[in-house]
Amino acid sequence: MGNQVLVTDELHDYMVGHGMPLDEIAAELVAETRQLGDISRMLTTADQAALLTTLTRLISARRAVEIGTFTGFSALAIARGLPDDGQLICLDASQEWTSIGQRYWERAGVSSKIELRIGDGHELAAALDGSFDLAFVDADKPGYIDYFERLVQVIRPNGLMLFDNTLAGGRVVGEHSDDPVDRKEFNAHIAKDDRVDVVILGIGDGLTLVRRK
């Protein structure tokens, strides 16, 4: 064991409480999503949302793509980091869930920056054109290698790709009956790819930052 801090629930609350706070609109979006029940576990965490906004601003992203939008929480965070004339293309299979997000994007004044495309993420990703500064992937986990191979072609040099849930609750190490083979294969796949630099952050369920060289 190195110098890692064990992030307990209490410490996590402290970290969120001392970082960029959720405003009323984002908090209401999270609250409405929680009313959906168990499925709301798919929500991006508040500290990840703050990181998404910060990274979007840090790299001065103007054009971004998100694969896996759900009720629009992470999209709201990315869109807020974009300039007024920036663009975020959101890809998701669900009209029902994303329509919740659309109401909050409208209220937050970011809907003009967001283009929602409904359908299969792989087909929609294959059809992306132009170049992107930032990509956030939070959809079907067995599809991560395919998404990476597509995005690496359209991300500009020094652009950033982010992949969520890459530590699979910590199950990427040790023996488990529900072994996250997809995440292990994905993590190994990008670790040996010399087109990119890779850093895995222990935030949320594991967030991998991938810089295109």
Ligand X SMILES: C[S@@+](CC[C@H](N)C(=O)[O-])C[C@H]1O[C@@H](n2cnc3c(N)ncnc32)[C@H](O)[C@@H]1O
Footprint of ligand X (CB under 6 A): 42-44, 68-71, 73-74, 91-94, 97, 120-121, 138-140
Residue whose C-alpha is closest to residue 81's, from 103, 63, 98, 99: 63
- Min CB(111)–ligand X separation in Å: 16
Q: Which is nearer to ligand X, 62 or 117 (CB)?
A: 117
Q: Which is nearer to ligand X, 140 or 193 (CB)?
A: 140
Residue whose C-alpha is closest to residue 64's, from 84, 81, 87: 87
Helix, strand, coil in percent for the chain, rounding step 5: 45, 20, 35
Dihedral angle over CA of 60, 66, 71, 75, nearest 10: 0
- Min CB(198)–ligand X separation in Å: 20
Q: Which is nearer to ligand X, 20 or 42 (CB)?
A: 42
Q: Which is nearer to ligand X, 73 or 105 (CB)?
A: 73
Q: Which is nearer to ligand X, 4 or 154 (CB)?
A: 154
Token pair in block for residue 54: 């910060």
- Min CB(130)–ligand X separation in Å: 20
- Min CB(74)–ligand X separation in Å: 3
Q: Could you tell me the CA-to-CA distances from 179 to 146, 163, 168 in Å, in that order?
A: 20, 19, 9
- Min CB(64)–ligand X separation in Å: 13
CA distance 51 to 123: 28
